[in-house]
Amino acid sequence: MKIRLWLKLLMCHLHLAAGMVEFCKKCGVRQPLVWHAADEIWEEVSGQYGVLCPSCFDERADKQGILLVWKPTVEVRDEQSLL
């Protein structure tokens, strides 16, 4: 996993990420702080864009003939939030 993703997750856990907002460079929509695509897929699909929302990323992949399947995974489980 990318070091940048781990740093973002750590910052979220330590509540240091307040105010950090990213925007899709294609459509301009505000992004969740963390979402991940495998490095090799990201590099192939993202092209000139630095940050893409999942919708724009999926659209660009589709145009390149790449069919993406999105799978939810647990990166951090905050047991306090379950209470």
Q: Measured between alpha carbons, how far is residue 79 from residues 6, 9, 12, 32, 38 in Å?
A: 19, 15, 14, 21, 27
Output the pLDDT for position 45. 92
Task: At 29, give phi and psi (nearest 5°).
Answer: -70, 145
Across the chain, which has 83 residues, the per-10-residue mean pLDDT values are: 59 54 83 78 85 90 92 71 50
Output the pLDDT for position 1. 47
Q: Which of 30, 69, 83 is nearest to 53 (CA)?
A: 30
pTM: 0.61
Q: Measured between alpha carbons, how far is residue 11 from residues 3, 8, 23 in Å?
A: 12, 5, 18
SS3 68: coil
